[in-house]
Amino acid sequence: MSHKAGFVSIIGKPNAGKSTLMNALVGEKMSIITPKAQTTRHRIMGIVNDDNHQIIFSDTPGVITPKYSLQESMMSFVEGSLIDADIILFVTDINEKHDENDVVEKLTKTSSPIAVLINKIDKSTEEQVKEKIEYWKEKLNPEAIFAMSALLGYNVPPILTYIKDKLPIHPPYYEKDELTDKSMRFFASEIIREKIFKLYAKEIPYSTEVAVTSYKEEGHITRISAEIYVERDSQKNIIVGTGGSMIKKVGTYARQDIEEFIGGKVFLEIFVKVVPDWRAKKNILKRFGYED
């Protein structure tokens, strides 16, 4: 049998369930999943291999109208992932109240095959599902429509079958034993960022960024240093917490997750730095991998 390989882009509005879907498809905790919108800033590649297929998933940031340069750069990831996609999975929440025309507009410009995934149907009726299917047939006329629940893993296997069916004949793009093209360092920073989203109130996570400054495997222990960047001293005080109580929590939870992820012991140290207005500074965005 000839080998098939290709790129599959998962796109949609913030909080439509894209990261949850990607994790269901890849079977590993690849993208960070938090209830807050806009946590996926990068394109994360998750790779699914079997003997005859290699599917390279990218989870893209939710489509928004950009308000500052960080968001502009996030949207360029979306544009990029539409251009090189062999298949596009458009994830839409069945209870979506927001206007999705910006996404639809982007989709009408692409020549890649599109499957619409109506997500979160565990929170809806059969009637609503039928209505939504009709709605998308008319609006986008996609190649396929799936009603599913990424969270419960409901109707996920048929999506994989559809993808394998549609993939172009191509040799593997990556070594078959690689799960992802991002380094361990990247995952360490994502895990720390996930803890910040879980532990702090709404505004704080959006003003922070995490950089892993060193990642050393020394025998039976991996030593990791990370820096959390904030924009103001007041934010630094919140991140650190009274007597360092909050930053200790972040460190402990992140270390446990990283240990589980790499399957070994981790020594993690985290520093907090104030860099005024980092979201508007191109050179800093470059350091975090936002600018090409």
13 is in an annotated binding site: yes
Q: Is 164 one of the annotated binding-site residues?
A: no
Q: Distance (Å, rounded) from C-alpha 85 to C-alpha 14?
A: 20
Stated pTM of the model: 0.59
| Share above pLDDT 70 across residues of the chain, in percent, rounded to a whole number | 76
- Cα 258 to Cα 175, 216, 266: the distances in Å are 23, 13, 7
Mean pLDDT of 159-165: 93
Could you tell me what percent of the chain has a pLDDT over 90?
Answer: 28
pLDDT for 54 beyond 70: yes
> Is 19 annotated as belonging to a binding site?
yes
Position 29 scores a pLDDT of 53
60 is in an annotated binding site: yes
Query: What confidence category does residue 269 fall into, taking pLDDT thresholds of 50, 70 and 90?
Result: very high
The response to whether 37 counts as a known ligand-binding position is no
In this predicted structure, what is the pLDDT of residue 215? 84
Q: Measure the CA angle with vertex 37, ends 122 and 227; round to 5°.
A: 135
Q: Is 16 annotated in some ligand binding site?
A: yes
- Residue 121 labeled ligand binder: yes
The CA distance from 32 to 208, in Å, is 15
Q: For the ranges 15-29, 174-188, 204-218, which has the lowest average pLDDT?
A: 174-188
Q: Write down all domains in the chain, each with its CATH number in brackets.
A: 4-166 (3.40.50.300), 184-287 (3.30.300.20)
- Mean pLDDT, residues 2-31 taken together: 78
Q: Is 181 assigned to a binding site?
A: no
Contact call for residues 45 and 9 (beta carbons, < 8 A): no
CB 5 within 8 A of CB 53: yes
The string of pLDDT tens digits covering residues 128-153 is 999 999 999 998 889 999 999 988 88
pLDDT at 279: 66
- pLDDT of 153: 84
Does residue 257 have a known ligand-binding role? Answer: no
List pLDDT tens digits, range 240-263. Answer: 999 999 999 999 999 998 888 888
- What does the pLDDT read at residue 85? 81
Q: How many residues are given for the chain?
A: 292
Is residue 18 part of an annotated ligand binding site?
yes
Q: Does the annotation flag 252 for ligand binding?
A: no
- Residue 177 is assigned to a ligand binding site: no
Task: Tell me if 17 is assigned to a ligand binding site.
Answer: yes
